[in-house]
Amino acid sequence: MEKLEKTLEEWRAMLDPEQYNVCRLSATERPFSGKYNDTKTDGVYHCVCCNEALFDSKTKFDSGCGWPSFYAPIGESAMTEIRDTTHGMIRTEVKCARCDAHLGHVFPDGPPPTGLRYCINSVCLNLEPRE
């Protein structure tokens, strides 16, 4: 996969303020506020910054955490994981492998078959419904 690199100024020009703050500055949208938290639409979720396919709706589940949750990414190479020790916690941050957009975090408390919960900010995603 070819890396997509832009300056912060280029990202700021193409993203709305909330997308920029979350995707490029690792902020978090408020829980239960995102457009995809309760969405049941069948389709594929793509990175809002580079359009890379990240999650299939078939892996989405209701975790009750307030953010869209998935038990697996669309492929092993879709994202990178980084140890995150901010806010007095030890977590695993997930970023888009193509453009390094901050997406959210992954936790080991999800359902089978993976046991993982990818807790993702809606503002980082674009859902392309299946026809």
State the binding site for Zn(2+): 47, 50, 96, 99
65 counts as catalytic: no
Three-state SS at 123: helix
Rounded CA-CA distance 36/54 in Å is 14
The closest of 36, 33, 28 to 60, measured between CA atoms, is: 36
Rounded CA-CA distance 120/14 in Å is 21
Binding residues: 47, 50, 96, 99
Q: Say if residues 114 and 32 touch (Cβ distance below 8 Å).
A: no
Residues taking part in catalysis: 119
